[in-house]
Amino acid sequence: MSSINITQALRELPKAELHLHIEGTLEPELALELAERNGVELPFRDLADLKAHYEFANLQSFLDLYYQLMAVLRTREDFTDLMLAYLKHAHEDGVRRAEIFFDPQVHMNNGLSYDLVLDGLLEGLRIGRERYGIEGGLIMCFLRDLPVESAEALIETAAPRASELLGVGLDSAEVGYPPELFKSVYARAAELGLHLVAHAGEEGPADYVLQALDVLHVERIDHGVNTADDPALVGRVADEGIALTVCPLSNRRLQVVQDVRELPIRAFMDAGVKVTVNSDDPAYFGGYIAANYEALAEAGIALPMLADIAANSLNATFASAQEKTAMLAALDDWRGKYLD
């Protein structure tokens, strides 16, 4: 198949996005538009100057810009617009279902109410479901580099509307903030009937993955690439069917690896680990989800394995059995078109 056809095939591939921070979809153009609309002053001369700040040395330098730009999000409508801009990309990239992270602590620190943020994002999902046929939901993330008390307060703020969330997650700067710090917060989230996921093993060690499983009782591990450092843990993650939400372009941009080829995708797949591919913060890392699949194709992973990765993503969603069956049938059709 020609490279143009592979690009098209990977865009059409029915897939789920399981590791996507809605704030990380804020494109520089929209950031400037919202800054203007809301009268927020940003320390950038123009679009070119802002774009020049998108070269990061590591996770922290990315987070500094990411938090700075979030200040332009002020109204419910801003959050709806942000969600719809993402869902348009997701639709173009073959996403059937998106389970989307958001970071309320940042917005609440910026003076917004939890309800405003939640209402705006849910409205975007509702319109997106009608407009693009994408199902999905929200995963509320705790910022691990803020005090645990802040996460404890957030879960209580969220509790009355817990049924409007899919689950909770744990994100932001990883090293020095082990999962076990959030044991009580996760226990409370479980009590509220929420699904549990956490970032672990991106910059942090394999031991953080172990803690996320044993102490937080998560159902998926976000990133998890450093699981590869502990062969026994790789075996366990495979046996228990724990999906890893790997983000190739993010890992390359944040220099977790220098080259996508260094990611242990094939080794994980050969070991039976449920690898998925996702875009993390696509406005910042150079590509939405199909571009992440394409980066793996360029790194030598063949279409049949990429289709298996897409199947993993559909199976690892928190969708109903009926919805999963429908999505997997669409994937079978795709296999019939491109693999036979």
Q: Least CB distance from residue 156 to Zn ion, whole Å?
A: 24
What is the pattern of x (binds Zn ion, CB under 5 A) and - over residues 265-284? Answer: ---------------x----
Q: Tell me: is residue 19 an annotated ligand-binding position.
A: yes
Total number of residues binding Zn ion (CB under 5 A)?
1
Q: Least CB distance from residue 269 to Zn ion, whole Å?
A: 21
Q: What does the alpha-carbon distance between residue 182 and residue 192 come to, in Å, rounded to a whole number?
A: 15
Q: Least CB distance from residue 198 to Zn ion, whole Å?
A: 10
Helix or strand run (H / E) with residue 312: helix 303-315
Q: Tell me: is residue 89 an annotated ligand-binding position.
A: no
Toward Zn ion, which CB reaches closer, 87 or 100?
A: 100
DSSP bridge pairs for 276: 245
Q: What does the alpha-carbon distance between residue 12 and residue 19 come to, in Å, rounded to a whole number?
A: 19
Q: Least CB distance from residue 278 to Zn ion, whole Å?
A: 8
Residue 151 corresponds to which amino acid?
A
Q: Tell me: is residue 21 an annotated ligand-binding position.
A: yes
Toward Zn ion, which CB reaches closer, 23 or 280?
A: 280
Q: Tell me: is residue 64 an annotated ligand-binding position.
A: no
Q: What does the alpha-carbon distance between residue 141 and residue 139 come to, in Å, rounded to a whole number?
A: 6
Q: Should residue 103 be labelled a site residue for Zn ion when binding is judged by CB under 5 A?
A: no
**Nearest residue relative to Zn ion (C-beta):** 280
Residue 305 corresponds to which amino acid?
M
Helix or strand run (H / E) with residue 8: helix 3-12
- Eight-state DSSP code of residue 271: T
Rg (CA), the chain: 19
Six token digits for residue 66: 């990411």
Toward Zn ion, which CB reaches closer, 293 or 334?
A: 293
Q: Tell me: is residue 49 an annotated ligand-binding position.
A: no
Toward Zn ion, which CB reaches closer, 58 or 320?
A: 58
User: Which residues carry out catalysis?
Assistant: 202
- By 3-state DSSP, what share of the chain in percent is helix, strand and coil, each rounded to 5? 60, 15, 30
Toward Zn ion, which CB reaches closer, 213 or 331?
A: 213
Q: Least CB distance from residue 208 to Zn ion, whole Å?
A: 14
Q: What does the alpha-carbon distance between residue 196 and residue 189 come to, in Å, rounded to a whole number?
A: 8
Q: Should residue 174 be labelled a site residue for Zn ion when binding is judged by CB under 5 A?
A: no
State the SS3 of 152-163.
Answer: HHHHHHHHHHHH
Residues belonging to the binding site for Zn(2+) are 19, 21, 199, 280
Residues that bind Zn ion (CB under 5 A): 280
